[in-house]
Structure 1
Amino acid sequence: MARRNLTSEEIVSEAIKLVREQGVDGLSMRKLASRLKVQAPTLYYYIPDKSALLNEILTELFASCFARIPPCKTWQDWMRAYGAAIWDVQQEERFAPLLILNTQLDEAHFQDTLVRIKSQLSAFPVDQEKLFFLQSAVQAVVTGWSVFANARYAEKVEQFFDFKDAAMDSVDSLVKSWEPKIH
């Protein structure tokens, strides 16, 4: 294979496509290298190992959630938009909940994520610690509904209610219950 220059973005994008097709367990640096038409050692120049690659994928998915949030005037609207963005990304990338469960986010990616979240929340002049807790709760609730919606028995349950509506109703309930606490 000819040597070529790659970007981390190109590698992560192709890795996401591979995980869509073959699942998280089907991802390997060798398979990814083959798809990118390079030798596996070339990938290690950009991304040191599979664990680091999973961190990059998870961070990219999370960034795509933030990219979907429109400008919001209130923290309540932001939380609802955030919940909807998480839902949409996790439904488009059905492997996302499994990736969240099985990826040990390294310190650098964790800190970058914290900065991104806190930057978004700083637009609202209210208690930032409580807002941060609430956004974590929104993530947890939506991810829980997403896992439920992707369970093997989901079709049987779906005859009783719509999963997205249930997830968004749960987010709305969280937001309403926190309104008196956040000032």
Structure 2
Amino acid sequence: MTERKLTRTAIAAAALDVLNEQGLDQLSLRKVAARLDVKAPSLYWHVADKNMLLALLAESIFADCLSKIPACADWRDWLRAFGKALWQAQNATRDAGRLILGAGQPVEVLKAMQDATSAPLVALGLEPERAMMMQASVQALVTGWTTFAQGPNTAYLQSQLPIDAAFAEGLDALIHGLDPAP
């Protein structure tokens, strides 16, 4: 890859490949640069350090989730689709829970993520503050279940309950509990 083609999107995709193959502890700018066939210093124009790499990777995964949500006529359907997209992405990503919990985002990225998740809910009739609380609750539920599903006690958890079904039931219960309608 020539340096002219080196983009944040390409860097995030290469980082995701390294993460899924080798895990979060082995993810490094050097390994991402090697995957892109460039020298590590070339990445510093786009990503200053590993913390920024983690933030870029988490942001990329999140944006991909949002792009998979179909048009919805009801905020409940949007939240459910959002939760399922996050669940699928996090389960497809090695060490996703650790990545999300460890990737400190710049304020402008957090604001953009907030706007991207709240805007569809506001368009579907929710007040902005309520939309923010609801989407944050769904994110917390998904990340909590992801941490269980990828954590050190995964085998035991899987032996006790069907994780995907339990997550889906929990998501539905959360959305039902957020519904102000009787």
Amino acid at match of 1:116: A
* 1:134-177 Cα distance to aligned partner (Å, 9 max, x none): 11111111111111112233222223321111111111111111
* 1:55-105 Cα distance to aligned partner (Å, 9 max, x none): 110101111111121111101111111111111001111321110111111
Q: Is the 8 A contact 1:7 1:46 kept in 2?
A: yes
1:14-29 aligned at under 5 Å gives the runs 14-29=14-29
1:41-80 aligned at under 5 Å gives the runs 41-80=41-80
Distance 1:148 1:109, change over 3 A: same
Measure, in 1, the Cα distance between the counterparts of 2:123 and 2:72: 9
Q: Is the 8 A contact 1:83 1:171 kept in 2?
A: yes
Aligned residues: 181
Gap runs ≥5 in structure 2: none
RMSD over aligned Cα atoms: 1.8
Residue equivalent to 2:109: 109
Q: Is the 8 A contact 1:55 1:109 kept in 2?
A: no
Residue equivalent to 2:140: 140
Residue equivalent to 2:96: 96
Normalised by the length of structure 1, the TM-score is 0.91
Q: Please report how far the alpha carbon of residue 3 of structure 1 lies from its aligned counterpart in structure 2 after TM superposition.
A: 5.7
Taking only the aligned residue pairs, the percentage that are identical comes to 34
Normalised by the length of structure 2, the TM-score is 0.91
Q: Please report how far the alpha carbon of residue 120 of structure 1 lies from its aligned counterpart in structure 2 after TM superposition.
A: 2.2
* 1:26-79 Cα distance to aligned partner (Å, 9 max, x none): 111122212222111111122222221111101011111111211111011111
Gap runs ≥5 in structure 1: none
Measure, in 1, the Cα distance between the counterparts of 2:114 and 2:60: 14
Q: Please report how far the alpha carbon of residue 128 of structure 1 lies from its aligned counterpart in structure 2 after TM superposition.
A: 2.5
Measure, in 2, the Cα distance between the counterparts of 1:145 and 1:71: 26
Amino acid at match of 2:71: P
Measure, in 2, the Cα distance between the counterparts of 1:92 and 1:173: 24
Q: Which range moves more in the overlay, 24-33 or 152-161?
A: 152-161
Secondary structure, aligned partner of 2:105: coil
Distance 1:28 1:175, change over 3 A: same
Measure, in 1, the Cα distance between the counterparts of 2:108 and 2:131: 22
Secondary structure, aligned partner of 1:159: helix
